[in-house]
Amino acid sequence: MNNPSSTAARNTAALDRYRTMRRIRSFEERVGELFLRGESAGSMLHLSIGEEGVVGVTDAMAQGDSFTTHHRGHGVFLARGADPVRMLAEIAGREDGYCRGKGGSMHIADRALGHLGANAIVGGGIPHVVGAGLSYRNQASGQVSAAFFGDGAMQQGILYEAMNMAALWRLPVVFCCINNQYGMGTRIDRAAASVDFVARAEAFGLAGVSADGADVEAVYAAAQDVFAGARAGRPGFIEVSAYRFHGHARMDKSPYRTAEEEAEGRRRDPLARARDRLIAEGLADAVDLDRLDAEAGAEMDRALAQATGAPLPPLASMFEDVYDPTTPAPEPLRHRLARILNA
Amino acid sequence: MSETTYREALRAALEDAMDQDPAILLIGEEVGLYGGAYGVSRGLLDRFGPDRVIDAPISEPAIVGTAVGAAMTGSRPVAELMYVDFAGLVMDQLANQAAKSRYMFGGQIAVPMVLRTQGGTGRSAAAQHSQSLEAWFLHTPGLRLVMPATVNDAYHLLRAALTQPDPVVFIEHKGLYTLKGAWDRGRPDAGWGEALVRRPGRDLTIVTYSRMLHESLAAADTLAARGIDAEVIDLRCLNPLDEATMVASVRRTGRVMVVSEGVLTGGVAAELSARLQELCFDQLEEPILRIAGEDIPIPVSPDLERASIPSAGLIVEAAGQLMRREVAAWAR
C-alpha cells in the first residue's frame, strides 16, 4: 500500500487506513470490556482510542522495519499486522498470548513483525531504536527503526540522548510522538515550558514535522517524507497530535479535565473525519462503511471469545525465559527449601 | 603459555572476538580514538574502523539503551561504562530493559550484550569513582555477572561473555589493570560459571572474587607460615553462581570467611553467607564471617581509602581469631 502510484490505489489505501483505525477502536473497546469482566490479567490498561491517526505513520513503514512502543501501544501494533487474538490472549494473561502470558498489555512484542517491545517505563524503549538503527546501518539492510511514545516522554532525558546519537551517526531512525495532551493527569502545558516539540527535534539535527492526528491522510503524507529521509540516513521526528478520549488507565475518570474540554477533544475524532472524507470524495458510501464497521466489530468479538477461551500458562512456565533455554533455569524456592531442610 | 597484563589480556580478548565475530561492536565514551579510559580498547579503532568501535557522547543511559537495541537486532554490542559508579545513570536500561526483555516478551527477544565496566578502590578516585556495586546487579534476575581476578580469566571470561545468549555485566577491577600473570590463549582456567579452588587447604575456607582474591591468597601464605591451612576459592562468576564448589569446601573445613570489597550491608558477602549457612549448617564450627567494605562512602585520602576495605592483614587477623589461635589487637 506504500507509495501508491494510481488514484485507484490511493483510494484503496485510504479505505484501508480507515479499516485499520476502526479495527483499533473496536479492539480497544473489547480490551475495556475484558477489564470490566475482570478477565484482564493486568490492572494496567491504557487505551489508544482517539489516537488512531497514528495509522498514517505505521502505513509509511515498510515490511521489515522495526519499532518499539510505549504503554499505550495496542493501536500501533495492530496497525503493523498484529493478530488480535494473540494480543487479547496476552492481555488476558493466556498461554497463547504473544508473550505466553508473561508481559501483558504493557509488554507486548513480536519479533516476526518487527515489534521490539512495548515498554512500561516512559521513554524506556526509545534508545533501542537507535541500537536497531546501528545494526541496520552496519548490516546495510535498508531497514528503519521507529520509536513510538507519548508527550510524557518528551520530558525524559533519554529521548534527547537518543535523538543526538541518531542524528550524530545518521542512523535510519524515526522518533514518533503521539501527543495526546496528557501525561497521566498532567496537561502538557503544565509539564513543558515549551510545547514546540518539532523545534526540539530540529535542534538536534533531526528532520521534524507535526501532523494533525485527526487527519490520517495528512499524517500519512508527512510520515512518508520522514521515513524516506530516515531510510537514506536522515533520521526524523514526527509529532502526531491527538486527544485521549478516555482516562489515563481504566480506573481513571479524568477528574482533571472538564466535560467541555472532553467534548471538544472527541470532536477531533480521526475515524469520523476519515469517514466523512471517504464519503465526500466518493470513495465509499455510508452503507459500505457501516458494513466495514460491523465487520471490524465482529472480528474483535470473535477474537475476544477465542482469547478468553485460551488456556492459562502452567505454573512451571514461571521459571522459563529468565535466561536462554539452553542454560539452567532459576531454582524454584520450594525445591531449594527441600534441599536445605532434607540435608 | 606466556605472561601479560590484565589490561592486555582484555584488549586481546576484544580483538580476537571481534576478529571472529563481525557482529561485535564496541560502544562507549572514549573507547575509540582515546583507546579507553584505562587503555583496554587501544588500537581497536584502527583495526576495526568507526562503524564497529563507536565513540559515544557522554550519555550513559542511551549508550546502554543503544546496546540493548543493537543486541535485539543481530549485533553483539559491548557497551563500556567507564566507571561502575555510573550505574545509577543506566539502571533502567540495564535492569528494566536488558535484564527483562527475554522474560517479558515470552522468550522472543534476547539481549546478547556485554556491559564492560570497572570498579573498586586503589587509585584515590573517591566516593563516585571507587565503588564495588556488584550487589546491585546480582539482585537483578536476567543479568549475568562476572568479575575476573586473574590475567587468564580476564581474557577467557571476556571471550566467554561474548558468546553468551544473555546480557552480561563484566566488572573489571581498576587496581588489576597492571597485574602481570600467566596467559594461555588456548586454555581457560575453568569453564563459564565455575568457581575455582585457587589454593587448597584443610582448616578454613576463604570465598572471594575480583581483586580480593589476591589479598586472600597473600593472607593464606601468611597463615600457612603460622600453621593455618586456608583454602581460597575464586568465584569468578557471581551469576551463574557455583554454589557446589563453595559448599563442598565449607562442609569439609567447617569454617568460612567471605571476602568482598563491596560494603557489608546488603552485599554479595551477605548473600553468599546466607547460602552457606543454609547448606552447611551442620558442618559449621564457627560463625560465617563477612570480611567486607566498611559501611561508608569511599574516602579520597589514601590511608582512609585503604582502611575502608578488607586487606590481607585483616583477613589474617580474622582467620587467627576464627581458628582460636591468636587474638587480634582490635578484639582485645
Instruction: Please report the pLDDT score of residue A170 as a whole number.
Output: 98
Q: Model confidence over B134-179: pLDDT tens digits? A: 999 999 999 999 999 999 999 999 999 999 999 999 999 999 999 9
Secondary-structure class of domain B196-325 per CATH: alpha beta
Place of cell 536500561: B93
Give the structural domain span for A125: 14-341
Min Cα–Cα distance to chain B from A223, Å: 23
For B144, nearest residue in chain A (alpha carbons)? A323
Instruction: Please report the pLDDT score of residue A39 as a whole number.
Output: 85
A2 within some domain: no
Q: What integer best gives the mean pLDDT of chain B?
A: 97
Catalytic status, residue B80: no
Catalytic status, residue B129: yes
Query: Which chain A residues are Cβ-neighbours of B71 within 8 angstroms?
Result: 131
Query: Which chain B residues are Cβ-neighbours of A323 within 8 angstroms?
Result: 102, 142, 165-166
The answer to whether residues A73 and A42 touch, using CB atoms and an 8 Å cutoff, is: no
Inform me whether the pLDDT recorded for A250 exceeds 80: no
Q: Which of B60, B261, B305, B317 is catalytic?
A: B60
Q: Model confidence over A177-198: pLDDT tens digits? A: 999 999 999 999 999 999 999 9
Q: Where are the domains of chain B?
A: 2-183, 196-325
Min Cα–Cα distance to chain B from A31, Å: 19
- Whether B104 and A116 lie within 8 Å, measured CB to CB: no
| Residue B97 to residues A211, A318, B92, B142, Cα–Cα distance (Å) | 30, 19, 7, 10
Domain count of chain A?
1
Q: What is the pTM of this model?
A: 0.96
Q: What integer best gives the mean pLDDT of chain A?
A: 95
Grid coordinates belonging to A186? 498532567
For B51, nearest residue in chain A (alpha carbons)? A138
Task: Tell me yes or no: is domain B2-183 CATH 3.40.50.970.
Answer: yes
| Residue B32 to residues B37, B54, B298, Cα–Cα distance (Å) | 10, 6, 30
- Whether A131 and B279 lie within 8 Å, measured CB to CB: no
| Residue A148 to residues A68, A75, A226, B171, Cα–Cα distance (Å) | 6, 11, 14, 33
- Whether B57 and A164 lie within 8 Å, measured CB to CB: yes
Min Cα–Cα distance to chain A from B109, Å: 7
Q: Which of B129, B156, B173, B214 is catalytic?
A: B129
The answer to whether residues A42 and A104 touch, using CB atoms and an 8 Å cutoff, is: yes
Query: Which chain A residues are Cβ-neighbours of B75 within 8 angstroms?
Result: 131, 134-135, 138
A117 within some domain: yes
Enumerate long-range contacts of A194-198, CB under 8 Å, 24 or more apart: A197/A151, A197/A154, A197/A237, A197/A239, A198/A237, A198/A239
A7 within some domain: no
Instruction: Please report the pLDDT score of residue B271 as a whole number.
Output: 98
Min Cα–Cα distance to chain A from B54, Å: 10
Instruction: Please report the pLDDT score of residue B324 as a whole number.
Output: 84
CATH code, domain carrying A162 = 3.40.50.970
Instruction: Please report the pLDDT score of residue A2 as a whole number.
Output: 47
Percent of chain A with pLDDT over 70: 97
The answer to whether residues A1 and A16 touch, using CB atoms and an 8 Å cutoff, is: yes
Instruction: Please report the pLDDT score of residue A10 as a whole number.
Output: 67
Query: Which chain B residues are Cβ-neighbours of A139 within 8 angstroms?
Result: 74
